[in-house]
Structure 1
Amino acid sequence: MTSLTGRCMCGAVTWTYAGEITRNLVCHCADCQRATSSPFTAFLGMRPEHLTWTGDIRHYESSPDTLRGFCPSCGSRLYFRSGKWPAEIHVHAATMTDPADYRPDAQVVMRSRAKWLDRLPSIPAHDGFQQKPSGGAPA
Protein backbone atom coordinates (compact mmCIF):
# COMPACT_ATOMS: atom_id res chain seq x y z
CA MET A 1 0.00 0.00 0.00
CA THR A 2 1.18 3.50 -0.86
CA SER A 3 0.58 6.68 1.15
CA LEU A 4 0.76 9.95 -0.77
CA THR A 5 -0.30 13.55 -0.34
CA GLY A 6 -0.59 16.49 -2.68
CA ARG A 7 -2.04 19.90 -3.34
CA CYS A 8 -2.80 22.53 -5.94
CA MET A 9 -0.45 25.48 -6.50
CA CYS A 10 -2.17 27.78 -3.97
CA GLY A 11 -2.90 25.05 -1.39
CA ALA A 12 -6.68 25.59 -1.41
CA VAL A 13 -7.16 21.98 -2.54
CA THR A 14 -5.29 19.08 -0.95
CA TRP A 15 -5.47 15.32 -1.31
CA THR A 16 -4.37 12.23 0.60
CA TYR A 17 -4.21 8.69 -0.67
CA ALA A 18 -3.59 5.34 0.98
CA GLY A 19 -3.99 2.42 -1.37
CA GLU A 20 -2.76 0.62 -4.45
CA ILE A 21 -1.39 2.70 -7.33
CA THR A 22 -3.01 1.32 -10.47
CA ARG A 23 -0.90 3.22 -13.03
CA ASN A 24 2.15 5.44 -13.28
CA LEU A 25 2.07 6.80 -16.77
CA VAL A 26 2.98 9.67 -19.00
CA CYS A 27 0.25 10.44 -21.53
CA HIS A 28 1.08 12.15 -24.81
CA CYS A 29 -2.49 12.36 -26.17
CA ALA A 30 -3.73 15.58 -27.75
CA ASP A 31 -6.48 15.94 -25.12
CA CYS A 32 -3.93 15.91 -22.27
CA GLN A 33 -1.71 18.33 -24.17
CA ARG A 34 -4.56 20.81 -24.58
CA ALA A 35 -5.97 20.32 -21.07
CA THR A 36 -2.62 20.99 -19.39
CA SER A 37 -0.98 23.30 -21.97
CA SER A 38 2.06 21.03 -21.94
CA PRO A 39 3.51 18.37 -24.25
CA PHE A 40 2.51 15.51 -21.93
CA THR A 41 0.89 14.76 -18.59
CA ALA A 42 2.12 12.45 -15.84
CA PHE A 43 -0.61 10.57 -13.95
CA LEU A 44 -0.99 8.33 -10.94
CA GLY A 45 -3.91 5.93 -11.20
CA MET A 46 -5.71 5.68 -7.85
CA ARG A 47 -8.78 3.97 -6.41
CA PRO A 48 -11.35 6.73 -5.69
CA GLU A 49 -12.49 5.11 -2.46
CA HIS A 50 -8.97 5.54 -1.01
CA LEU A 51 -8.56 9.16 -2.09
CA THR A 52 -9.64 12.09 0.10
CA TRP A 53 -9.93 15.68 -1.11
CA THR A 54 -10.26 18.91 0.85
CA GLY A 55 -11.22 22.23 -0.72
CA ASP A 56 -13.40 23.29 -3.61
CA ILE A 57 -12.88 21.47 -6.93
CA ARG A 58 -14.47 22.49 -10.21
CA HIS A 59 -14.93 20.19 -13.16
CA TYR A 60 -14.74 20.53 -16.90
CA GLU A 61 -16.39 17.82 -18.99
CA SER A 62 -13.83 17.55 -21.79
CA SER A 63 -15.76 14.80 -23.58
CA PRO A 64 -18.85 12.76 -22.72
CA ASP A 65 -18.41 11.01 -19.35
CA THR A 66 -14.92 12.51 -18.90
CA LEU A 67 -14.22 15.06 -16.16
CA ARG A 68 -11.08 17.07 -15.49
CA GLY A 69 -10.90 18.50 -11.97
CA PHE A 70 -9.18 21.78 -11.19
CA CYS A 71 -8.78 24.32 -8.38
CA PRO A 72 -11.01 27.36 -9.03
CA SER A 73 -8.62 29.60 -7.06
CA CYS A 74 -5.33 28.97 -8.90
CA GLY A 75 -6.42 26.88 -11.90
CA SER A 76 -4.17 23.90 -11.12
CA ARG A 77 -5.23 20.76 -12.94
CA LEU A 78 -5.81 18.04 -10.35
CA TYR A 79 -7.14 14.93 -12.05
CA PHE A 80 -8.78 13.19 -14.96
CA ARG A 81 -11.74 10.85 -14.51
CA SER A 82 -13.45 8.89 -17.26
CA GLY A 83 -16.22 6.34 -17.57
CA LYS A 84 -13.69 4.28 -19.54
CA TRP A 85 -11.94 3.55 -16.23
CA PRO A 86 -14.72 3.74 -13.60
CA ALA A 87 -12.61 2.21 -10.82
CA GLU A 88 -9.77 4.75 -11.20
CA ILE A 89 -9.06 8.43 -10.90
CA HIS A 90 -5.92 9.72 -12.60
CA VAL A 91 -4.28 12.34 -10.38
CA HIS A 92 -1.66 14.63 -11.89
CA ALA A 93 1.74 13.60 -10.54
CA ALA A 94 2.89 17.24 -10.46
CA THR A 95 0.41 17.85 -7.61
CA MET A 96 2.22 15.39 -5.32
CA THR A 97 3.74 16.95 -2.20
CA ASP A 98 7.11 15.90 -3.60
CA PRO A 99 6.73 15.44 -7.38
CA ALA A 100 10.40 14.39 -7.57
CA ASP A 101 9.30 11.06 -6.03
CA TYR A 102 7.21 10.21 -9.10
CA ARG A 103 8.50 7.30 -11.17
CA PRO A 104 6.48 6.61 -14.34
CA ASP A 105 6.59 3.09 -15.73
CA ALA A 106 4.87 3.66 -19.08
CA GLN A 107 4.27 6.22 -21.82
CA VAL A 108 1.03 6.08 -23.76
CA VAL A 109 -0.41 7.49 -27.00
CA MET A 110 3.06 7.90 -28.49
CA ARG A 111 1.60 8.74 -31.91
CA SER A 112 0.74 12.20 -30.48
CA ARG A 113 4.11 12.76 -28.78
CA ALA A 114 5.52 16.22 -29.53
CA LYS A 115 8.40 15.65 -31.95
CA TRP A 116 10.47 18.48 -30.45
CA LEU A 117 10.87 16.47 -27.24
CA ASP A 118 13.52 14.44 -29.10
CA ARG A 119 15.71 17.57 -29.21
CA LEU A 120 15.77 18.20 -25.45
CA PRO A 121 18.95 16.22 -24.68
CA SER A 122 20.87 18.15 -27.36
CA ILE A 123 19.92 21.73 -26.44
CA PRO A 124 21.47 23.87 -23.67
CA ALA A 125 20.08 23.35 -20.17
CA HIS A 126 20.10 25.91 -17.35
CA ASP A 127 19.34 25.74 -13.62
CA GLY A 128 17.31 28.95 -13.91
CA PHE A 129 16.01 31.23 -16.60
CA GLN A 130 18.62 32.30 -19.09
CA GLN A 131 20.19 35.66 -18.29
CA LYS A 132 19.41 38.65 -20.45
CA PRO A 133 22.05 39.26 -23.14
CA SER A 134 24.81 41.64 -22.05
CA GLY A 135 25.44 44.86 -23.90
CA GLY A 136 23.03 46.49 -26.27
CA ALA A 137 20.98 49.60 -25.76
CA PRO A 138 19.48 50.34 -22.32
CA ALA A 139 15.74 49.83 -22.05
Structure 2
Amino acid sequence: MTMLRGRCLCGAVTWSSAGPVTRNLVCHCENCQRATSSPFTAFVGLPSDAVTWTGDVTHFESSPGTHRGFCPACGSRLYFRSDRWPEEIHIHAATLADQSGYRPDAQVVLAERAAWLDHLDAADRHEGFHKAPGGAR
Protein backbone atom coordinates (compact mmCIF):
# COMPACT_ATOMS: atom_id res chain seq x y z
CA MET A 1 0.00 0.00 0.00
CA THR A 2 1.13 3.49 -0.82
CA MET A 3 0.54 6.53 1.33
CA LEU A 4 -1.27 9.14 -0.72
CA ARG A 5 -1.85 12.73 0.30
CA GLY A 6 -3.55 15.69 -1.30
CA ARG A 7 -5.11 19.07 -0.78
CA CYS A 8 -7.36 21.70 -2.26
CA LEU A 9 -5.99 24.83 -3.97
CA CYS A 10 -5.87 26.97 -0.82
CA GLY A 11 -4.78 24.18 1.55
CA ALA A 12 -7.79 24.51 3.87
CA VAL A 13 -8.74 20.88 3.14
CA THR A 14 -6.24 18.03 3.08
CA TRP A 15 -6.66 14.30 2.74
CA SER A 16 -4.51 11.21 3.21
CA SER A 17 -4.90 7.49 2.67
CA ALA A 18 -2.81 4.39 3.29
CA GLY A 19 -5.49 2.16 1.82
CA PRO A 20 -5.21 0.27 -1.44
CA VAL A 21 -5.99 2.06 -4.69
CA THR A 22 -9.11 0.46 -6.14
CA ARG A 23 -9.01 2.22 -9.50
CA ASN A 24 -7.28 4.96 -11.49
CA LEU A 25 -9.52 6.22 -14.23
CA VAL A 26 -10.44 9.12 -16.43
CA CYS A 27 -14.15 9.85 -16.75
CA HIS A 28 -15.51 11.64 -19.81
CA CYS A 29 -19.17 11.82 -18.72
CA GLU A 30 -21.07 15.07 -19.15
CA ASN A 31 -21.77 15.29 -15.41
CA CYS A 32 -18.05 15.24 -14.60
CA GLN A 33 -17.42 17.78 -17.36
CA ARG A 34 -19.98 20.18 -15.92
CA ALA A 35 -19.02 19.56 -12.28
CA THR A 36 -15.34 20.32 -12.93
CA SER A 37 -15.57 22.72 -15.90
CA SER A 38 -13.10 20.42 -17.63
CA PRO A 39 -13.38 18.03 -20.59
CA PHE A 40 -12.66 15.03 -18.33
CA THR A 41 -11.81 14.16 -14.75
CA ALA A 42 -9.09 11.84 -13.47
CA PHE A 43 -9.91 9.91 -10.29
CA VAL A 44 -8.11 7.77 -7.74
CA GLY A 45 -10.50 5.24 -6.23
CA LEU A 46 -9.91 4.46 -2.55
CA PRO A 47 -11.82 2.66 0.19
CA SER A 48 -13.94 5.33 1.88
CA ASP A 49 -12.89 4.27 5.35
CA ALA A 50 -9.18 4.53 4.44
CA VAL A 51 -9.31 8.27 3.73
CA THR A 52 -8.70 10.85 6.47
CA TRP A 53 -9.83 14.43 5.92
CA THR A 54 -8.84 17.66 7.66
CA GLY A 55 -10.77 20.88 7.17
CA ASP A 56 -14.36 21.46 6.16
CA VAL A 57 -15.73 19.81 3.05
CA THR A 58 -19.01 20.91 1.50
CA HIS A 59 -21.06 18.26 -0.27
CA PHE A 60 -23.34 18.67 -3.25
CA GLU A 61 -25.76 15.96 -4.40
CA SER A 62 -25.35 16.31 -8.16
CA SER A 63 -27.88 13.57 -8.89
CA PRO A 64 -29.79 11.15 -6.65
CA GLY A 65 -27.24 9.11 -4.70
CA THR A 66 -24.25 10.93 -6.16
CA HIS A 67 -22.30 13.38 -4.04
CA ARG A 68 -19.41 15.66 -4.92
CA GLY A 69 -17.20 17.20 -2.26
CA PHE A 70 -15.44 20.53 -2.54
CA CYS A 71 -13.59 23.07 -0.42
CA PRO A 72 -15.96 25.86 0.67
CA ALA A 73 -13.05 28.33 0.85
CA CYS A 74 -11.54 28.00 -2.64
CA GLY A 75 -14.10 25.83 -4.46
CA SER A 76 -11.66 23.06 -5.42
CA ARG A 77 -13.43 19.85 -6.36
CA LEU A 78 -12.15 17.06 -4.13
CA TYR A 79 -14.10 13.87 -4.75
CA PHE A 80 -17.05 12.00 -6.17
CA ARG A 81 -18.93 9.27 -4.35
CA SER A 82 -21.98 7.32 -5.38
CA ASP A 83 -24.42 4.85 -3.91
CA ARG A 84 -23.34 2.62 -6.83
CA TRP A 85 -19.96 2.12 -5.08
CA PRO A 86 -20.79 2.61 -1.37
CA GLU A 87 -17.40 1.45 -0.09
CA GLU A 88 -15.37 3.68 -2.44
CA ILE A 89 -14.56 7.34 -2.80
CA HIS A 90 -13.15 8.70 -6.06
CA ILE A 91 -10.75 11.51 -5.27
CA HIS A 92 -9.73 13.92 -8.01
CA ALA A 93 -6.20 12.96 -9.05
CA ALA A 94 -5.35 16.64 -9.58
CA THR A 95 -5.52 17.10 -5.79
CA LEU A 96 -2.67 14.62 -5.21
CA ALA A 97 0.33 16.22 -3.51
CA ASP A 98 2.60 14.14 -5.77
CA GLN A 99 1.04 13.34 -9.14
CA SER A 100 4.22 11.81 -10.60
CA GLY A 101 3.12 8.22 -9.96
CA TYR A 102 -0.46 8.60 -11.13
CA ARG A 103 -1.28 6.51 -14.19
CA PRO A 104 -4.89 6.06 -15.26
CA ASP A 105 -5.58 2.51 -16.39
CA ALA A 106 -9.04 3.12 -17.85
CA GLN A 107 -11.15 5.74 -19.59
CA VAL A 108 -14.90 5.55 -19.09
CA VAL A 109 -18.03 6.98 -20.74
CA LEU A 110 -16.21 7.57 -24.03
CA ALA A 111 -19.52 8.23 -25.81
CA GLU A 112 -19.61 11.61 -24.04
CA ARG A 113 -15.94 12.46 -24.64
CA ALA A 114 -15.40 16.04 -25.85
CA ALA A 115 -14.70 15.75 -29.60
CA TRP A 116 -12.27 18.68 -29.55
CA LEU A 117 -9.80 16.60 -27.51
CA ASP A 118 -8.93 14.86 -30.80
CA HIS A 119 -7.30 18.08 -32.03
CA LEU A 120 -4.94 18.64 -29.08
CA ASP A 121 -1.99 16.84 -30.68
CA ALA A 122 -2.14 19.30 -33.60
CA ALA A 123 -2.31 22.41 -31.37
CA ASP A 124 0.78 24.58 -30.82
CA ARG A 125 2.70 23.71 -27.65
CA HIS A 126 4.30 26.21 -25.29
CA GLU A 127 5.93 25.90 -21.86
CA GLY A 128 4.00 28.94 -20.62
CA PHE A 129 1.40 31.36 -21.87
CA HIS A 130 2.59 32.50 -25.26
CA LYS A 131 0.13 35.40 -25.40
CA ALA A 132 -1.45 37.61 -22.80
CA PRO A 133 -5.17 37.00 -22.23
CA GLY A 134 -7.26 38.57 -24.95
CA GLY A 135 -4.64 37.96 -27.64
CA ALA A 136 -2.35 40.92 -26.80
CA ARG A 137 1.38 40.20 -26.74
TM range (shorter): over 0.9
Measured against aligned partners, the alpha-carbon deviations of 1:17-41 in whole angstroms (never above 9, x if no partner) come to 0011001000000000000000000
- Residue of structure 1 in register with 2:116 after alignment: 116
Q: 2:41 maps to which residue?
A: 41
Bigger radius of gyration among the two: 1
Give unpaired runs (5+ residues) of structure 1. 135-139
Q: Following superposition of structure 1 onto structure 2, how do residues 47-126 of structure 1 map, counting pairs within 5 Å?
A: 47-126=47-126
- 1:101 counterpart SS class: coil
TM-score (normalised: structure 2):
0.94
Residue 12 of structure 1 is matched in structure 2 by 12
**Letter paired with 1:100:** S
CA positional deviation for 1:101: 2.6
The two structures have a TM-score, normalised by structure 1, of: 0.93
In structure 2, give the amino acid aligned to 1:124.
D
* AA aligned opposite 1:114: A
Structure 2, unpaired ranges of 5+ = none
Amino acid corresponding to residue 126 of structure 1 in structure 2: H
Identical positions, percent: 65
| Per-residue Cα deviation, 1:52-73 (whole angstroms, up to 9, x for no partner) | 0000000000011111000000
Q: For this pair of structures, how many residues does the alignment match?
A: 134
Measure the CA separation in 2 of the matches of 1:124 and 1:47. 40
Cα RMSD between the aligned structures?
1.0
Structure 1: how far apart are the matches of 2:116 and 2:15? 33
2: CA distance, partners of 1:14 / 1:20 = 18
Partner Cα distance (2:60, 2:10) in 1: 19
For residues 65 and 121 of structure 1, what CA distance do their matches in structure 2 show? 37
- 1:123 alignment partner AA: A
Cα drift, residue 99 of structure 1: 2.2
